[in-house]
């Protein structure tokens, strides 16, 4: 079930086929992402979750099918074109310049912004939003903890004033406390009107903060439902969540 009519759609994949060489990973993948909501993709290893992001963001060509963003066909658009339209991609792992300062990382992250005149104020706002980055502005990024580095990646993405953030495995390598802080930031983004599409290994925690969930298996969309429905679905719980959440009462 796609987001209902009350939830305007910002991103649609319609029958997308993609892969690597002779190997097909996405098999007519179809789903929709609602505006100003958090949508989480779950599924087993090899389901094609990260491949979805690479295909959306123009890093891997779609062989068939269509991708639409805000009603516009963006199939096989370049990453630069997608940045200009308001799509930001935060890959899994650490994607910072470790030998450069926190401030320099932010400045480089803003190079792609269409609004260079606003960049200094956006950097100041990012440091206010994430005080630890402000306190460590002159420190090498390599000295930050794993969680702080993830905050730096998110802050750098926000400099581009995105409408949609693609966030791949944000909790990898983070302490439970930093996972909660990172998820809290994603909730704040939603409240500010940013749409979030997330892939997350910690499926239960991710669905708990999400509005919608997508189950991807063998490159096909098996389910798309409100996140709470997936959390309480016994089959989904057994396969992906370590047991569904018990119904109250």
- For residue 183, the model assigns a pLDDT of 92
Residues 172 and 234 in one domain: yes
- For residue 248, the model assigns a pLDDT of 40
Residues 136 and 167 in one domain: no
Residues 50 and 67 in one domain: yes
Apex 94 CA angle, 214 and 32, nearest 5: 20
DSSP 32-83: EEETT-EEEEE--TTSSHHHHHHHHTTSS--SEEEEEETTEE-TT--HHHHH
User: Residues with Cβ < 8 Å from 68, sequence gap 6 or more?
Assistant: 11, 12, 14, 74
- For residue 59, the model assigns a pLDDT of 95
Q: Which residues on adjacent β-strands are paired with residue 167?
A: 90, 198
- For residue 177, the model assigns a pLDDT of 86
Residues 61 and 184 in one domain: yes
- For residue 245, the model assigns a pLDDT of 47
Residue 212's domain comprises 1-86+162-249
Residues 125 and 219 in one domain: no
- The reply to whether 54 falls in a domain is yes
How does pLDDT run across 157-192, given as a tens digit for each residue?
A: 888 889 999 999 988 888 888 888 889 999 999 999
Task: Please report, for the domain that includes residue 36, its CATH number.
Answer: 3.40.50.300
- 3-class state of residue 184 by DSSP: helix
- The reply to whether 244 falls in a domain is yes
Domain boundary among 141, 161, 181: 161
Residues 116 and 215 in one domain: no
Domain boundary among 134, 161, 188: 161
Residues 72 and 102 in one domain: no
- Alpha carbons 26 and 49: distance in angstroms, whole number: 9
- How many structural domains are present in the chain? 2
- Alpha carbons 194 and 6: distance in angstroms, whole number: 17
Strand 23-34 to strand 9-20: parallel, antiparallel, or no bridges (unpaired)? antiparallel
- The reply to whether 38 falls in a domain is yes
In the chain, which stretches have pLDDT less than 70?
1-7, 240-249
- The reply to whether 91 falls in a domain is no
Domain boundary among 140, 161, 182: 161
Per the listing, tokens 């990260």 go with: 50
In the Cβ-directed half-sphere of 77, how many Cα atoms lie within 13 Å? 19
Residues 154 and 174 in one domain: no
- For residue 44, the model assigns a pLDDT of 87
Q: Which residues on adjacent β-strands are paired with residue 216?
A: 221
Nearest by Cα to 153 from 206, 108, 212, 86: 108
- For residue 2, the model assigns a pLDDT of 53
């Amino acid at each position: 079930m796609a987001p209902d009519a009350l939830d305007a759609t910002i991103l649609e994949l319609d029958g997308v086929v993609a892969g690597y060489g002779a190997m097909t990973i996405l098999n007519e993948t179809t789903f929709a992402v609602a505006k100003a909501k958090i949508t989480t993709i779950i599924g087993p290893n090899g389901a094609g979750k990260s491949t979805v992001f690479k295909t959306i963001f123009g890093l891997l060509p779609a062989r068939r099918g269509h991708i639409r963003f805000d009603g516009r066909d963006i199939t096989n658009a370049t990453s630069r074109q997608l940045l200009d339209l308001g799509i930001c991609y935060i890959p899994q792992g650490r994607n910072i310049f470790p030998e450069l300062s926190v401030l320099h990382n932010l400045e480089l992250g803003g190079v792609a912004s269409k609004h260079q005149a606003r960049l200094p104020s956006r950097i100041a706002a990012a440091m206010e939003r994430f005080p630890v980055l402000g306190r460590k502005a002159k420190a090498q990024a390599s000295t930050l903890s794993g969680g702080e580095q993830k905050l730096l990646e998110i802050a750098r993405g926000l400099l581009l004033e995105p409408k949609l953030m693609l966030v791949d495995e944000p909790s990898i390598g983070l302490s439970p406390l930093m996972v909660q802080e990172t998820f809290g930031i994603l909730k704040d983004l939603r409240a500010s009107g940013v749409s979030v599409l997330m892939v997350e290994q910690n499926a239960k925690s991710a669905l708990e903060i999400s509005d919608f969930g997508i189950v991807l298996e063998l490159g096909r969309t098996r389910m798309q439902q409100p996140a709470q429905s997936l959390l309480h679905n016994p089959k989904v719980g057994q396969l992906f969540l370590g047991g569904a959440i018990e119904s109250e009462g």
